[in-house]
Structure 1
Amino acid sequence: MALPEQSSAADVDTPMAELLRPFVVVSVVVAVMWAAELVDLVPGTEFDRWGVRPRSTRGLLGIVLAPFLHRGFGHLLANTIPFVIMGGAIASGSIGRFVRVAVIVGLVSGLGTWLVASSTSVHIGASGLVFGFLTYLVVRGVFARNLLWLAGGALTLFVYGGILWGVLPRPGISWSGHVFGAVGGVLAAWLLHRPGSHTEPTTPLAP
């Protein structure tokens, strides 16, 4: 007589693990940011010098490094919460999608800043990614013609739309990184979700 199989604890935990995995991945990225800021407290480290330096060959390295560098813990904390929430929302659909969006936004934000910002400035922080995540979540439903994503985009805009004031030029604020980050988010939504982009099936707006 065959006995019924008993589900293991791992099987029971799988749905919760699947739910948490995207936020764990995003949290690991944030943990690197916090670790970098902690190490930067050590005299002589001066990690901030590795930010984006416009039109400097050395400054190109900052396109990759700048999102992990911040000007103090207040700056880092301001970026951490929206990064985890919006990054987790993107990663919940697919961790690969989160990586693609982050790469596209990071490149557009970094290169745009490198090209147009003042040559005497150094730009650091993950705010370019935060702005890109915001615009990506807001507009992806338009390109994908997905009702659920449109509703999610409207909610995201309602909660975080106020940060868009950061695209206005202000002393000490990398507004160029914000602007190009926002542009990168729209570009990522178009590249990943435009008709014919071979993304996941979506709920159409109309037949």
Structure 2
Amino acid sequence: MLLPWILLGVAWLLELLEQLIGAGRWSLAMGPGTPWWTLFTAPFSHGGLGHLLTNSLVFVPLSYLVLIRGFKAYLAVWIGVILLEIPIWLLWPVGSHGLSGVIYGLLGYLLLIGWLERQPLALALSLTALLLYGSALPGLLPWLTPAGVSWIGHASGFAGGVVAALAVSRQQRRSSAKP
């Protein structure tokens, strides 16, 4: 499945256009007073090539770990992340952007799904995510996040992934309980 690469390609295209045309001043971040559609563009907007590169290196592997569970799980994470961006967009005093919210959503999903389902594949995915990316968890805490990094975007993304895991697990239980 090429979907993670296509989504990443959109982010790279937008960043390159921003650097070439907007001289780095054009941004599609969400924040106070921005249009509603920035909820959908914010993950693809970055604060420079370095920001996008670091997000890219984590986004692709985490995406594929979730896609092992299926496209519906991946879509659920994206929906959860975008839905939980809404309060930040409406209420938070500063803007937020980048794939890191989605990255934390993917991580939140992967960490919880094993515990919820207690199946070998789900447990293996949770353990793999914890071992490879557990060191990113302090990024959820404001006092451990570097200045200029949106810890609230990370936290809302993580919560979106948790909501997605709960929804996917619930759906899985319902469909396996049907005669």
Mapping 1:1-207, distance limit 5 Å: 21=1, 24-44=2-22, 46-48=25-27, 50-54=28-32, 56=33, 58-108=34-84, 110-118=85-93, 121-169=94-142, 170-194=146-170, 197-198=173-174
1 or 2 for the larger relative contact order (CA 8 Å, sep ≥6)?
2
Contact 1:116 1:176 in 2 (8 A): no
Q: What amino acid is the match of 1:47?
A: W
Contact 2:73 2:164 in 1 (8 A): no
* d(CA) in 2 for partners of 1:199, 1:130: 28
Q: SS of the counterpart of 1:122?
A: coil
Q: Which runs of 5+ in 1 are unaligned?
A: 1-20, 202-207
Cα distance 1:171–1:59, how it changes in 2: closer, same or farther (>3 A)? farther
TM-score by length of 1: 0.76
* d(CA) in 1 for partners of 2:108, 2:137: 9
Contact 1:51 1:62 in 2 (8 A): yes
Calculate the aligned-residue CA RMSD, in Å. 2.1
Q: SS of the counterpart of 2:148?
A: coil
* C-alpha deviation, 1:155, in angstroms: 1.9
* C-alpha deviation, 1:199, in angstroms: 5.2
Contact 2:31 2:90 in 1 (8 A): no
* d(CA) in 2 for partners of 1:94, 1:200: 16
* d(CA) in 2 for partners of 1:94, 1:74: 30
Q: SS of the counterpart of 1:173?
A: coil
**Percentage of pairs with the same residue:** 31
Cα distance 1:153–1:38, how it changes in 2: closer, same or farther (>3 A)? same
* C-alpha deviation, 1:200, in angstroms: 6.7
* C-alpha deviation, 1:194, in angstroms: 2.4
Q: Which runs of 5+ in 2 are unaligned?
A: none
* d(CA) in 2 for partners of 1:98, 1:72: 26
TM-score by length of 2: 0.86
Contact 1:112 1:177 in 2 (8 A): no
- Figure out how many residues of one structure are paired with residues of the other and give that number: 173
* C-alpha deviation, 1:148, in angstroms: 2.4
Cα distance 1:200–1:106, how it changes in 2: closer, same or farther (>3 A)? farther
Query: Could you give the per-residue CA deviations for residues 27-68 of structure 1, whole angstroms, max 9, x where no partner exists?
Result: 1110110011111112437431x21113x2x34322110000
